[in-house]
Amino acid sequence: MGTMGFFFLFLQILYGKGLAQAVVESPGVKDTHEPRIILRYESGSAASLHDRVKRLQHLAGVRKAEVLPSLEMAVVACTSDVQEDDMLELLQEQEGVEVAVPDTWLHVDEEHVEKRPERFCSANPQCSAMGLRGLCCPTPDGLRLGCCNDDASPLPRHPEHGLSTISLQSWHGGFMAAMRWGGVGFYPDNLHGDTHFFVVPHSDGYNSLKTQHGTYVVATPSGRLASWHRGHLWADDFEKFKFVYNKDGTLTLRSKHADKFVAAEHPSWGVLSADRDEIDDWEKFNVTFTHGRDTVIPNDKSLEKLWGLHHYGDRDIDAAEAWKIAHEPPPEGLVVAVIDTGIDYTHPDLKDQMWINPNEIPDNGIDDDGNGIVDDIHGADFANNDGDPMDDQMHGTHCAGTIAGNGNNSIGVAGVAWRGVRLMAMKFLSASGGGRTSDAIKCLNYAVAMGAKLSSNSWGGGGSSSAMRVAIERAEMAGMLFVAAAGNEGSDNDEFPHYPSNYPTANIVSVASTTKTGSLSSFSCYGKTTVDLAAPGSSIYSTIPNKKYASLSGTSMATPHVSGLAALIWLHRPQLTMPQVKRILMDSTTKGDALKNSSLTEGRINARRALMLAASYEALYPPTNQPQGLAFADTDPEVGRIGGTAQITAAADESDIDYYSLHFISVAGFLMERIGRANASGAATLDITLSNVTIPKYVTGLAVVAANRSAKAGPSKAAVVEIKDYGVPKFGAGEVVWAGDVDGRVGYVAGQIQFKRAQSESTVTHYNLYWKDEAQSFLGKVPANGFKTPSCEGDCSLLDSNISGNTYTFHRGAYDNNEMAVVSFSGPATVWLTSFRTEKYYDYLEIGGQQLSGTRLVLPMRFDLESGPQRITWSSDRSEVESGWSLELVQTGSMAEYSLPSIEPPSWHVQVVSAYTDTEGADISEGELSDFDSATMPPSTALKPRQLGFVDMDVQQYFIEGIIKFLPPLKCKGSVTYYKVYLANSEGMAVDGFQWTLPEPENCSALMKVTVENVRLPSDAAQVVVTPGNKNGPGHAVAVPLVDIVRSLPTNASFTGDEDPAKGQVKGSIRITPAANPTGILSYAIYFVNGTTKEKLLGLVAAAADEVVAYEFHIIVKTSLRNLLVVSVYDDLEMDEGVFLQFEDAYDEDDEVEHEGRWLAADTPDFEPWLRRPRVPAWNEVQLLWTEPKAEQAEAEEKKSLSAQFLSDRRVMGSVTIPGILGTSTSSTGTTFVPPSLEARKALVSVLADSLPAVSQDQVRLTKGQMLTCQAAMRLDPGNSLPDGACLVVNFEVLPDVSLALHPKYSQAFLDRVEARLIALHRGSLATQRMNGLLMKRLQGVISLPAGGFQAVVGEPQQIAPKVRADGRSLASTGQGIDLGDVTSWDEQELPYDQETSPLMLSVSIGALLGAISAASCAAMRIVKHRKTMREPIVTPVDPVQPATDSSMDVSVQLGERPE
């Protein structure tokens, strides 16, 4: 710019233009099978937890029961929703059960320590020798160098901003520049210092641009920009600008005082003016971000997309500044458990960050570390019960990348803690984003045992669950930090609780979400007392499976920022405790007006401030001396529990020891919960008595560590003893059989000792075998394998059953209503279903986890069940009946074998005793051996041919052709000289003309063969028999059935034509003419084919001998394949040859035609399926009817009572929806709904009290009633069917009895039982039907009931309790060495120029959505969809709708979308 240009600029700035006056986040899909109940047992119970749970497996309606020993819990899988309610009542009464909770679905103190004086590098010999100067070297714990740097002094940091700058390039090409004399113009490039500006954020959401000369860019009253000194140190409104982030990546500035956009006029004039009303090219600037010397910038390709970590707008978490001062992570790193949908552990930005189980060998199919999970290399998958937590969704992988994506590797992204973190993948959410509470508990249990320091939990939703709460409490006892998403419903968690973030445990950090502009994300939940802090969560870029990256939004994305920072703090100061880390997170937030009242801290996390605060914490000084030994012997006879005395050999020097802490130690070597404590007293040994203590899962031993007031030692300084669980077997072995002698010498025996396994091996680890001689000589042992004979529980008298060896037959003929029977056993086994007719959907037989119902099954059906616990469940409901079913169960594995080598036996009798580890049972089984003399006897029973088989190769009926094959016995030489082979009738008699004799082979492994030429099958031939023999006669024969193999193709198949006019959808029928020879054909299979190759099965249809069968289908056509193949299916194979046919998709040519009601649900994957959420009811779909706040007198009385004050914060909230009972009133203003009478409300209170356990009417309070259209209610909860019309929605709360107030344990147990019953009522169980019937009965005559009655719907419960705060008791900082910088904040409405993507989080429940509706008068109502500022919610002048606190959708771990 020339001199003249500067002159004109000065005049314009000085005089202006007239001197203008300044102006000061789908519903989850309910799972329809295997309902579960979680049992919590009383601690210290006398009986074995394992034994009790095993007894549960014999109860009718229980499909499976699994122990969670570390939590004193069990998960019971029931057989149907109908049975679940009865099971709740039955299980609640079982011995030792504290509370029974229905499983739910979830969707996608420390003391102050005296501060020490400042430390200087010069005072430390190591640092001084290195030439380092400055403060903080080393840190007080002496383990890490602090912020020492080879610079002369620490880098300066201005209290308002860091050292990074931005340069703004206009559309014309010039760079905005601030001259020393106060002018603002343009330079042709940004190399000059005048073009670099510091960004200073303000609490009101605006920013200032600070020049290199110490001045601010100012928008003058005339609208021009200048940079002169204005006589004050801090920026005012003339020097503040709103940053508007345009979609094309450019930045626009908007002046605060003028509310105008800044435009760059032609650079030849060098003028910038803040006087534009719209954004065009002149108002856009390209930003060059120059990183300051106070940052570390890794070379990751997409780092600039990670605005949450480092961004010029400075609403990030200052991660780059934190990386500058972070210490080198310790070599052992830090394990972070990501409890989610799993992690793609092959992703290039994650594969080197994954936790590796040090005690597991990959891909060998063996549970090497003995934790019960095979090949759990990077974590575990409890959604599918295996060791492979691969992410089949993307949510968990996205979270993992934010926590610890590999930094400085030239690709992708970097995580908050990209050095030192090891990611443990814990999968309990499936590909749909849904999962079970019980599986989430298993993930948490595993993570604690395997050494995770913290867990990241971006999931939640639905109601509360005491089982989940207790699991988190146990994790707290182990020192785990539980970081949880606050939710995406945009509601107040203080009023509408969100779980698990709302559980009142001190180790939970509840996280809200912020935007790039610093405000609370519109979808984010908030809560002044229940949400702890906020973090970036809108448009977060991170890893997703298959080597890809994507931007997602939600508190799910904010949570891993906090998890990553917590890890960074721990890596910076490894000795910090969990409460200290949580306190550091909360005390170091950047506060701001925009986050006021949004959380307890009202701030966003700040990594730089957090690490500086962490460095100020005094170090912990655990004892250096350690116990010398630990001894323990279990004396409790119950399997799975221990009792006895743990004897500690004290340390030789106890000068730094206050006490000894006794813990379980996991298979991975980590200390778990403490089970005892003994004060150091100077004695050589100390005893801790244990009584009836459950052994947690993953535990291998006991460990004792020394501790003092500062801290306790870690596992590396523990004295450890292995736990040997003492237990007594409950069942003994059965019959003992000698399989025959294969040693032909007189006086010597060799062969197999066989015996029947115990009827249940649940308390058997092995069997000991002894000779029955005077010395009771030990012979050997055989391991148990979990065998269990079939046994029936429930309505077993209704079943006709028969036992023949290992074959069990069960039959139920014409059945009745409400039948339930369960047959439990162990596999391997084969089940043949031979007949079956039941009412479809409602009456079913469940075999191997597959539910069968209806009348069109292809019979017989074969089920091959694997090893392990199995069960068959029969259930009928209250409605129609059918003719029943029959099945045959063939169980294998009942016999155990012991191979006896050639020996001269000390006795001819052997004894078998069952044992559990080193303890034997009382029952003894005995068997007798016999001697075989090959010189005088025919072959013994042990010398039978092996693997006899014959396959008919001729597919014609009544003709056979093939080869009879078998192997000689293993010890054949000298004992067997020939083999007689023949066809026999059913009685074993040889058929004339079909007999062959084979000589002794050269060796016992030679395959013996007899060729059968193509011949007509004799009418009486039924089996193939082989008999070994020698000079003394024939031995014992073996036989296999003779099967005439018949194969025949369908005669013809044709397609009837497409009946669906919609494009891409085909509806029709395939008519199949039976095969010419239908013998043995079970069904016909229809395949899509590519040429002649089968590609995909379309379906199966049962075969008929003499009539055409039809297969009807209605499908979405997503493939170009239009050819079908129909093949015959036999018991032993499915043919590849068959009949080909084609079909066509007939559709209307008019693409614009809507085919309403006929479109099928396409089976296509959504990019973000968790974002589906129901539409919020419109203003005319809801009407407030009444609220019932507490009376002033009652509140006054309550304040007088400490008991009542205690109880006022502890309650269970719920809702009930009743259709068709509301009356209406018509006036000049329109039609309104009339609230139910007081008598009707009292009836509802009485019904709720009678339907809940041990609840009186005084403990139930109706808090609010409102009308909601039933259609709107169904949109909120599609799992429930409601009629058209209006529904009454009533919110209520249940309080503990005042007498329980002084007994928190009993009060908690009461609330947990109420919560469990409400979960059951929500699921629509029999208890719901009983409650519904009772409600209709008591409302009869009080209000007008619908003609056909009604079905009430109960919402999920919300258990409310004060949130416990971690007593971190922040330790004093070192003072002058710490500069956290000024607190900055902002308050901003989100702009249309920075649209957010849809958030990721859990589905909101019906109760939470109902509670989020604020009702007005009949004439008007507003629904608050987005909370864009933290002002009070907008309501109309009439009585506001009080928030609901329940959730009536099945809690499904789905991840939900903010409303449009």
Write the DSSP assignment of 253-268 as a string of letters: EEETTT--EEEE--TT
User: Contact, 982 vs 990, CB < 8 A?
Assistant: yes
| Active-site position among 194, 294, 314, 340 | 340
Distance between CA atoms of residues 711 and 419, nearest Å: 27
| Active-site position among 170, 430, 513, 556 | 556
Write the DSSP assignment of 959-977 as a string of letters: EEEEEEEEE--TT-TTT--
User: Contact, 353 vs 402, CB < 8 A?
Assistant: no
Residue 1446 DSSP class:
-
User: Contact, 617 vs 576, CB < 8 A?
Assistant: yes
* 800 counts as catalytic: no
Q: What's at 388, amino acid-wise?
A: D
Beta-carbon contacts of 659 under 8 Å, excluding residues fewer than 6 positions away, are 677, 678, 679, 680, 706, 707, 708
Q: Token digits for 1360?
A: 């409310």
Residue 572: what are its φ and ψ, rounded to 5°? -70, -40
User: How many CB atoms within 10 Å of residue 904?
Assistant: 9
Beta-carbon contacts of 1050 under 8 Å, excluding residues fewer than 6 positions away, are 1072, 1073, 1074, 1075, 1084, 1126, 1127, 1128, 1138, 1139
Beta-carbon contacts of 1163 under 8 Å, excluding residues fewer than 6 positions away, are 1116, 1118
User: Contact, 1301 vs 1308, CB < 8 A?
Assistant: no
Distance between CA atoms of residues 201 and 204, nearest Å: 9
785, exposed or middle or buried, with CB in 10 Å at 0-12, 13-18, 19+?
middle
Beta-carbon contacts of 1357 under 8 Å, excluding residues fewer than 6 positions away, are 463, 464, 1212, 1213, 1214, 1314, 1315, 1318, 1319, 1322, 1446, 1447
641, exposed or middle or buried, with CB in 10 Å at 0-12, 13-18, 19+?
buried
Write the DSSP assignment of 1032-1045 as a string of letters: TEE---EEEE----
Distance between CA atoms of residues 557 and 368, nearest Å: 35
Beta-carbon contacts of 107 under 8 Å, excluding residues fewer than 6 positions away, are 28, 429, 433, 434, 435, 459, 461, 462, 1170, 1402, 1403, 1451, 1452, 1453, 1454, 1455, 1456
* 556 counts as catalytic: yes
Distance between CA atoms of residues 913 and 782, nearest Å: 10
Residue of 504, 505, 507, 499 whose CA lies nearest to 483: 507
User: How many CB atoms within 10 Å of residue 118?
Assistant: 13
Beta-carbon contacts of 449 under 8 Å, excluding residues fewer than 6 positions away, are 70, 371, 666, 667, 668, 670, 672, 696, 697, 698, 699
User: Contact, 350 vs 423, CB < 8 A?
Assistant: yes
- Is the bond preceding residue 1235 a cis peptide, omega within 30 degrees? no
- C-alpha distances (whole Å) from 321 to each of 163, 164, 294, 325, 571 are 10, 10, 6, 7, 16
Residue of 323, 561, 302, 319 whose CA lies nearest to 419: 323
Helix (H) or strand (E) holding 1100: strand 1093-1102
User: Contact, 1233 vs 1224, CB < 8 A?
Assistant: yes
Q: Largest Cα–Cα distance of the chain, in whole Å?
A: 133
3-state secondary structure of 809: strand
- Is the bond preceding residue 860 a cis peptide, omega within 30 degrees? yes
User: Contact, 1458 vs 538, CB < 8 A?
Assistant: no
Residues classed as catalytic? 340, 395, 556
